[in-house]
Amino acid sequence: MLAIDVQDLWVRYGKFAAVKGISLAIPRGEVFGFIGPNGAGKSSTIKVLATLQRKFEGTARLGGVDIRQSPDRVREKMGYVPDSFGVYEDLTVREFLHFFAAAYRLPYSRRQAVVDDVLQLTDLAHKIDAQVDSLSRGMKQRLSLARVLLHDPEVLLLDEPASGLDPRARIEMRELLKALKEMGKTILISSHILHELAQLCTQIGILEAGKLVAQGSVADIYRRLSILRIVHVQVGGGPTDLADRLRGFAGVSQVDEQADRFAIRFEEGSLELEDLHDFIHGQGARIRMFQAEVMDMETAFMKLTEGITA
Amino acid sequence: MLSQFHLPLLTRELIEQSNRRRTYVFRVIYAVALFGLTGWTIWSEVGEMWASGNRAILTMGIGRTVLDSVVGLQFAGIYLFLPALVCGSITSEKERETLGLLIVTRLGPWTILFEKLLARLVPMSGYLLLSLPLLAVARTLGGVSNMDIVWAAIVLCVTMFLVASFSLMWSVLARTTASALVLTYVTGAIFMLLGNWVVITAIEGFASLLTLNFTPTVYSSGPYPYTRELFMLQNSPQSTFLLGSFAFNGTVLFKVGRMTGAAPAGYLLLPSLLAAGSCLGIARWQFWRRAFPPAGSFIPKLLRWFDDFFHRINQNRLTRGIVLVRDKNTLPLFKPVAWRETVKKSLGTTRYLVRLLVLLELPLLPLVSMVLFDLIEGRQLILPRPAGVIYPVWFFAVLFVSVHATGAIANERSHQTLDVLLSTPLTSREIVSQKLAGVWKLCFVLAIPFATAILYELMTTAEASRPIMPMGTNPWTGQVYTQPVFRKLPHLFWSIASFLIYLPLMAWLGLWLSLRLASRLRALVTQILLTVAICALPLLFVSSLRGVMTIGSMVVVVISPLAALMQIELHSVPFDETTRTVTLAVNMVLWAGVAGWLRFQCYRHFAELAGRLDPVASSRVASAVEKPALEFEAVGEMG
């Protein structure tokens, strides 16, 4: 069964359409990344799924439940984290989590254990009696994730969870999301920090001006767009015409000679990295560095979008 | 053109104001109210006679009444609207975090303050200029000298400058516009209402020590507080030290100045100008210190200060730090929103509510003691009257309930926690009912000072003889006072009924406005203006309906909660017992109905107004979507 099933979704604000006929089918256990510029319709789509958008057209189901028919049942099945985190600054961490444990109607006898568990998972156990307003932004973000885990929802809806976090907090967040992925949660996450989604998501959807311009796995999208992968190689010794020999190697599209290295480009799927390594070694060159560049999501994004906002 | 005089801030503010639609809407409403009410005053003065055909003579000399009406309305405008205009001038920059950007420019604090002040005085001056044609009409009708008009203009301008400076001072001191507004109204009301009384009482006490003979003379031509100031001035015009009491009461300034003549009246402007200067001085002095105030609202800080204060005085040999009510560190069980409203919010916490109770009870006790002392001494009661004691309690109770209720949803919105709350399985009905839990607890605490005031009234006043306002005329109806028949049981009943109806009315109105309006400030200002309107406008309309038990005076008591309270406390309109009972009953039923309607609206439309999908609402949306002809309009909603 699909965790999220959206068909022909339209969201309008007056005469302005923020979302124009989006369809999504996200199986259980997937991590789906929503990428798009500001105003593309990411938050509006997530708000529909979080039962916070009263008026929309099309159908939207979460965990098999129609959002329009049974929003109260949908709220039991999902956890929503807005981009502002939505934390009560006047409470302590313990009070904050107990507040939402009561809001999610957890039995009182289980609450303490559940609160301890989610704090352990989010690495906030040592902050249990700290005032929320004394926490760093990264901690507040982890606390808001702890909040949505209290009732063990099937689906997590995370709207720009990494926005405004420093690099360490972003890495901690990414690791936490990986742990949730391993727990089998279905996660819909929106972000404009593209390479983070590439590392985490099993599927991505690129949204522009309210329309879904691409959807699929990261590799699928690279393949479809014919995006070249890059490997940086630094060698010692070897033949002087190594660059020309590399250009002649099957699968290599382009070789740039830089001051201390070669930048070798090839199409996804046309060449295995191990074969390239063996070829260079076979030419008598001693390899000092062999580094494949991280998937170039920015290029994919720029190719797919034209900078239009809805 | 203004930019050529190097007034960039003033230029920007005026351009912003001119681009706002509400600037013009307010101006039109103000003009309609001013001209409408003045027209009503003129008509009520001459209408009856006009119909009889005896026109020319009857209109002679009524310019004085028209002048009083116009100037009174303009004072009301200054006291009501100007704080709302000025309070956001500095705090809005703090809230948008743009004050720092202003400070790093070459504009100094004085320049910023004066340009901000001028930017607010310009629209208010426009409102004042609206009365020019009406002043011309007053002059034409006779009874008004040129000096009267000039004096009116001067006093209005000085009062406007004072109120604007006072509001600007609070705008500098406060962190948010809402707190600046509340502080301006509360402290302004204290200065206005109690300033005169405190100064005069002190002078009287001083005079009695020197065995000087001051016999109070009661005048009968308007609201009571200024009558004794008139007396004091007329008997000792050289007592300039008295003038401090006039600074915050422009209406008194105007009347006294007119009666005493221009020369001595000139001195009367000094306290107002000095007070305005002091306010600006304080604003400049605190400008840097309060430019970046730490987060946290003023009320919790104040209450924490009181906490420390009470803790210190509790540590003595007698009490030895005994704690009667200890706040338990509880966690929410089944009603989390109600738990947060009653345990974590300042005005909901038991300990702080006890502090509030003490704050309200403390001023009551000396007043009531003075009443008892007067009774024992066998002296005539003039001030403080038992009936007067309950008005400050009403003022603070309505203010506290309004502040609390208007913040219920608006605060969640401004702190961006509303979406999180709405995405939980709590139903809309549960959220609404739990959100007001803190307000009901506050009302419960406020019931104690109310009960104190009511019980003292009952204890200190004998059945069927109530020595309040023993002579003179009713300021609203012109009716000569007689000894009203005072019945304890009906008085107790109506007092309790008014408490049980008007405070919940304020709570539901606050919550409804909090749901409908985007910001707390707008909700609070709207609540204050609506409250003033429903209380005062009917009174203004009927101010000239002189005579016994007119239909107009009955309608006013039916419509206006303030008129009903005056009727309960002062028997301000000389109704017979049956009419009084019927009019009060209709009033209570009317406002209980309005409170019930607002309650229904809050429950019924919470999801719609808060932006949440509810099963009931969604069925309506679904039906709207089924109609393709209405596609855009049907699904349109501003996000």
Burial group, residue B20, by CB count within 10 angstroms (0-12, 13-18, 19+): exposed
For residue B633, what are the CA distances in angstroms to A47, A53, B451? Answer: 20, 16, 53
A219 touches chain B (CB under 8 A): no
**Are B170 and B280 in a shared domain?**
yes
Structure-token pair, residue B608: 């719609």
pLDDT at B40 over 70: yes
Phi, psi of B637 (to 5 degrees): -160, 130
Q: Residue B592 pLDDT > 50, yes or no?
A: yes
Across B136-291, where does the E strand assignment appear? none
| pLDDT the model gives residue B518 | 77
Q: Greater confidence, B366 or B561?
A: B561
- The pLDDT assigned to B241 comes to 33
* DSSP character at residue B617: H
Q: Which of B514, B323, B526 is nearest to B406 (CA)?
A: B514
Residues B359, B495, single domain; the answer is yes
CA distance A90 to A88: 6
Q: Which CATH architecture has domain A224-298?
A: 2-Layer Sandwich (3.30)
For residue B257, what is the enclosing H or E element?
Answer: helix B250-260
Residue A282 DSSP SS3:
helix
Residues of B in contact with A53 (CB under 8 A): 611, 613
**From B608, B613, B632, residue closest to A71, measured CB to CB:** B613
- Left, alpha or beta for B28 (phi > 0: left; psi -120 to 50: alpha)? alpha
Mean pLDDT across chain A:
85
Tell me which of A209 and B380 has the higher pLDDT: A209
**Which residues from A are below 8 Å from B425, CB to CB?**
72, 75-76, 103-105
pLDDT recorded at residue A298: 66
Three-class secondary structure of residue A235 per DSSP: strand
Say how far apart CA A25 and CA A59 lie, in whole Å.
12
Residue B299 lies in a domain: no
Tens digits of per-residue pLDDT, B431-481? 999 999 888 888 888 888 888 878 777 766 655 444 444 444 444 444 444
Chain B hits for A152, CB-CB cut-off 8 Å, are: none
- Asked if residues A127 and A87 have their Cβ atoms less than 8 Å apart, the reply is no
Model confidence band, residue B297 (pLDDT cutoffs 50, 70, 90): low
**Cα–Cα distance measured from residue B113 to residue B107, given in angstroms and rounded to the nearest whole number:** 10
pLDDT digits (tens, 9 = 90+) for B496-551: 999 999 999 999 999 999 998 878 888 888 898 889 888 877 766 655 444 444 66
pLDDT for residue A93 = 92
ipTM: 0.81
Domain count, chain B: 2
> Is the model more confident about B89 or about B580?
B89
CB contact under 8 A, A68 and B415: no
Is B477:B388 a contact under the CB 8 Å cutoff? no
B559 and B473 co-located in one domain = yes
Query: What token pair was written down for B8?
Result: 């960039």
Kindly report the number of other CB atoms within 10 A of residue A167's CB atom: 7
- Of the listed ranges A160-174, B77-91, B565-579, the least confidently predicted one is B565-579
Of B286, B314, B344, which residue sits at a domain end?
B286
Both B572 and B503 in a single domain? Answer: yes
Same domain, B575 and B450: yes
In order, the DSSP letters of A69-109 are T-HHHHHHHEEEE-TT----TTSBHHHHHHHHHHHTT--HH
pLDDT at site B460 = 63
- Is residue B155 domain-shared with residue B72, that is, in the same domain? yes
Cβ–Cβ under 8 Å, residues A192 and A159: no
B277 shares its domain with B338: no
Tokens of A23: 């369809």
Between B577 and B123, the higher pLDDT residue: B123
Please answer yes or no on whether A52 and B415 come within 8 Å at the CB atom.
Answer: no
B416 closest CB neighbour out of A15, A84, A98 = A84
Judging by DSSP bridges, how do beta strands A65-66 and A211-216 pair with one another?
A: unpaired
Same domain, B282 and B334: no
> Looking at per-residue confidence, does A286 or B392 come out higher?
A286
Tokens of residue B607, six digits: 């999801």
Nearest Cα residue to B159 out of B113, B191, B204: B191
pLDDT in tens, B141-174: 877 888 888 888 888 898 899 899 999 999 999 8
B32 & B178 share domain = yes
Chain A, nearest residue to B612 by Cα: A52
Whether B282 is covered by a domain: the verdict is yes
Distance in Å, alpha carbon of B637 to nearest chain A alpha carbon: 5
Query: Is residue A77 a contact partner of residue A50, using CB atoms and an 8 Å limit?
Result: no
* pLDDT (average), residues B331-354: 77
According to DSSP, the β-strands at A262-267 and A252-257 are antiparallel
- Closest chain B residue to A67 measured between Cα atoms? B613
Tell me the residue length of chain B: 639
A184 and chain B: CB distance < 8 Å anywhere? no
Mean pLDDT across B368-397 = 62
Q: What is the mean pLDDT of residues B217-236?
A: 38
Report in angstroms the alpha-carbon separations of A294 from A253, A291, A297, B356, B540.
18, 9, 9, 62, 76
Give per-residue pLDDT as tens, B193-209.
Answer: 665 555 555 555 555 55
Is residue B538 exposed (0-12), middle (13-18) or buried (19+ Cβ within 10 Å)? buried
Q: Is residue B18 part of a domain?
A: yes
Stretches in chain A below the pLDDT threshold 70: 193-195, 225-227, 294-300, 303-310
Q: Report CA torsion sign: A36, A40, A44, A49.
A: negative
> Of B378 and B610, which is predicted with more confidence?
B610
pLDDT for B506 equals 94
| Cα gap A66→A74, rounded to integer Å | 8
Of A71, A88, A111, the CB nearest to B615: A71
Q: Residue A18's closest chain B neighbor by CA?
A: B639
Of A54, A56, A102, the CB nearest to B617: A54
> Residue holding tokens 């008509």?
B43
Residue type present at position A84:
S
Measuring CA to CA, how many Å separate B627 from each of A20, A57, B271, B501? 18, 11, 68, 44
Give CA–CA dist B242/B200, Å, rounded. Answer: 8
- Residue B267 shares a structural domain with residue B375: no
Which residue, chain included where needed, has tokens 């919790």?
B300
Cβ atoms of B372 and B460 within 8 Å: the answer is yes
CA distance B510 to B514: 6
Whole-number pLDDT of residue B630:
32
Q: Which amino acid is at B638?
A: M
Domain ranges of chain A: 2-216, 224-298
pLDDT for residue B470: 41
Pairing relationship of beta strands A155-159 and A186-191 according to DSSP bridges: parallel
Is B322 a member of any domain?
A: no
- The residue segments making up the domain with residue B151 are 2-286
Q: Which of A12, A104, A144 sits opposite B425 (nearest CB)?
A: A104
Coil, strand, or helix at residue B522?
A: helix
Dihedral angle, C-alpha B559, B562, B565, B569, nearest 10 °: -130
User: Which residues make beta-bridge pairs with A81?
Assistant: A158
**B477, B544 contact by CB (below 8 A):** no
CATH architecture for residues A2-216: 3-Layer(aba) Sandwich (3.40)
Cis? peptide before B484, omega within 30° of 0: no
Question: How far off is chain A from B297, nearest CA to CA, in Å?
Answer: 11
Any domain includes B594: yes
Among candidate residues B426, B385, B521, the one with its CA nearest the CA of residue B95 = B521
Read off the tokens for A183.
């727990």
Interface test with A, best of B423, B616, B619 (most A CBs within 10 A): B423
Q: Is the dihedral of CA A34, A40, A46, A48 positive or negative?
A: negative
Residue B291 lies in a domain: no
Most distant CA pair in chain B, distance? 88
Out of A79, A102, A147, the one facing B336 most closely (by C-beta) is A102
Amino acid letter for position B487: R
- At residue B225, the pLDDT reads 39
The CA distance from B407 to B519, in Å, is: 9
B614 contact residues in A (CB cutoff 8 A): 71
* A90 and chain B in contact, CB less than 8 A: yes
Point out the least confidently predicted range of A252-266, A282-296, B360-374, B389-403: B360-374
A51, A78, A95 ranked by CB distance to B331: nearest: A95
Across the interface, do A86 and B632 touch by the CB < 8 Å criterion? Answer: no
Do B370 and B224 have their domain in common?
A: no
pLDDT of residue B119: 92
Indicate whether B637 belongs to any domain.
no
Which of B436, B396, B391 lies closest to B595, judged by CA?
B436
Dihedral of CA atoms B61, B66, B67, B68 in degrees, nearest 10, equals 110
Q: Which of B299, B420, B625 would you mutate first to test chain A, the one with the most A CBs within 10 A? A: B420
Tell me the average pLDDT across B103-112.
Answer: 86
DSSP strand pairing (A78-81 vs A228-236): unpaired
Token digits of residue B56: 């020319």
Residues B270 and B407 grouped into a single domain = no
Is residue B217 over pLDDT 70? no
For CA atoms B414, B419, B420, B426, the dihedral sign is positive
Look at residue B251 in the predicted model and tell me its pLDDT.
63
Residue B635 and residue B461: Cα distance in Å, rounded? 63
Residues of chain A contacting B608 with CB distance shorter than 8 Å: 54
A172–chain B nearest CA distance, Å: 23
Q: Calculate the average pLDDT of chain B.
A: 74
Burial (Cβ within 10 Å: 0-12, 13-18, ≥19) of residue B245: buried
**pLDDT tens-digit readout, B241-284:** 333 344 555 666 666 666 655 555 666 677 778 888 999 999 99
Residue A125 one-letter amino acid: A
Residue B491 located in a structural domain:
yes
Identify the DSSP state of A26. Answer: E
